[in-house]
């Protein structure tokens, strides 16, 4: 499409009706049967809109809409909400605010993707991938996402926005469990014969907490800790979990090396490290070109101006960025309250966000290099 053209306005009523259907099919990540029902529903809706059936990959769905993947549109249908949440948080719209479990994160984005791709005249090279385990770290879909993203010109992630802003940076995440091995002994009769795993744990918690770098945005947070068996026994074992967030690959690797290099402070104590890097960061360098392109399209098309932010939370966009694919995240709903009682979507922003997504995909399908600025052809 030419940049002076006004993007086609979506049928918001029809989109919201599909959104209601998606929200009212509860899909907690931890419930295989619920996820299967949700995947069936998404497959039916997608087939009705796109005219072709998806590839069924367990709880994941993939529509390749012609040719090798050049534009990857990424969504997920699982939510954090347990079965029965509709009883206390029913789908509804009041005063321009839409509510319902998973409506903001991220079933509005999923409905947007289906309607946008159904409306395009040319979908050559577009792939829609809808996964079912994003909220639990994408254990079964990570390889699928990375393989689909490799070689693509762009990945567009339909996660919800941050107060309307696109997400230009996401911190990478690493997850560890530090296991401490000591030696049990009677705490009253002969504690000197033991090796106190609780004391060793205290040393290691302080060492790990010191690995953070606030100036670089790196957080290293000891979280859940356990130790000991009875109140009168020198603890023989202890463990604690560690949550790491880093803005850059270099920082993530630095912390990883430091955690693996931890050494016992007490004689005869031993350490074991489990876990490691979970999601690489989405660095701004991989979103800047797409953000500039989208901003130019929005300005030329009379859509609301775009803003961008860095966020600490991770998404499947971390995986697409991790394989070097230009990635733009937060293209979904405008609203707030993800994972919380106040989860909501602003109805009057659905149309402009859907129009932006349609215009951006159409422009990418047109074949201009992603690194170029919008309007420079």
- Distance (Å, rounded) from C-alpha 233 to C-alpha 228? 7
- Judging by beta carbons within 10 Å of its beta carbon (0-12, 13-18, 19+), is residue 361 exposed, middle or buried? buried
Interhelix angle 12-23/32-50, nearest 10 degrees: 160
Confirm if 140 and 126 have CB atoms less than 8 A apart.
no
106 upstream amide cis, omega within 30 of 0: yes
Contacting residues for 327 by C-beta, under 8 A, at least 6 apart: 154, 155, 156, 157, 282, 286, 287, 290, 317, 320, 321
Neighbours of 289 (CB within 10 A): 18
Q: Using alpha carbons, select from 101, 20, 139, 110 the residue that is nearest to residue 337.
A: 101
Active site residue 78: yes
User: What single DSSP character describes residue 306?
Assistant: P
Question: Got the DSSP string for 46-112?
Answer: HHHHHSSPPEEETTEEEEE-SSS-SEEEEEE--BSPPTTHHHHS--EEETTEEE-TTIIIIIHHHHH
Active site residue 134: yes
Length of the chain in terms of residues written: 377
361 sits in which H/E element: helix 350-365
Contacting residues for 230 by C-beta, under 8 A, at least 6 apart: none
Which is catalytic among the residues 134, 135, 159, 200?
Answer: 134
Which is catalytic among the residues 18, 78, 148, 316?
Answer: 78
φ, ψ of residue 114 to 5 degrees: the values are -60, -45
> Residue 79 corresponds to which tokens in the numbers above?
């939510």
Active site residues: 78, 134
């Amino acid at each position: 499409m030419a940049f002076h053209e006004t993007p086609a306005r979506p049928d918001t009523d029809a989109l919201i009706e599909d959104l209601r259907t998606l929200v009212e099919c509860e899909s907690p990540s931890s419930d295989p049967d619920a996820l299967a029902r949700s995947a069936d529903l998404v497959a039916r809706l997608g087939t009705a809109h796109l005219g072709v059936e998806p590839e069924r990959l367990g709880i994941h769905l993939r529509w390749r809409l012609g040719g090798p993947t050049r534009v990857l549109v990424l969504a997920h249908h699982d939510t954090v909400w347990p079965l029965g949440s509709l009883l206390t948080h029913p789908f509804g719209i009041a005063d321009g605010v839409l509510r319902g479990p998973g409506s903001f994160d991220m079933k509005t984005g999923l409905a947007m993707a289906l309607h946008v791709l159904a409306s395009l005249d040319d979908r050559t090279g577009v792939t829609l991938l809808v996964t079912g385990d994003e909220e639990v770290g994408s254990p079964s879909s990570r390889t699928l996402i990375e393989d689909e993203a490799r070689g693509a010109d762009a990945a567009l992630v339909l996660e919800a926005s941050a107060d309307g802003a696109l997400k230009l940076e996401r911190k990478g995440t690493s997850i560890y469990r530090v296991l401490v091995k000591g030696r049990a002994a009677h705490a009253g009769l002969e504690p000197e014969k033991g090796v106190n795993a609780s004391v060793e744990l205290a040393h290691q918690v302080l060492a790990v907490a010191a690995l953070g770098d606030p100036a670089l945005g790196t957080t290293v947070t000891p979280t859940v800790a356990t130790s000991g068996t009875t109140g009168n026994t020198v603890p023989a074992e202890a463990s604690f979990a560690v949550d790491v967030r880093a803005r850059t690959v270099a920082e993530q690797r630095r912390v990883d090396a430091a955690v693996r290099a931890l050494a016992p402070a007490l004689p005869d104590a031993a350490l074991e490290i489990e876990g490691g890097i979970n999601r690489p960061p989405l660095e701004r360098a991989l979103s800047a070109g797409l953000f500039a392109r989208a901003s130019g399209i929005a300005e030329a098309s009379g859509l609301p101006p775009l803003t961008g932010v860095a966020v600490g939370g991770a998404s499947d966009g971390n995986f697409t960025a991790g394989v070097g694919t230009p990635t733009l995240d937060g293209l979904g709903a405008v609203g707030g309250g993800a994972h919380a009682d106040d989860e909501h979507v602003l109805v009057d922003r659905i149309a402009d966000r859907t129009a932006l997504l349609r215009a951006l995909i159409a422009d990418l399908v047109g074949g201009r290099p992603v690194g170029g600025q919008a309007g420079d052809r």
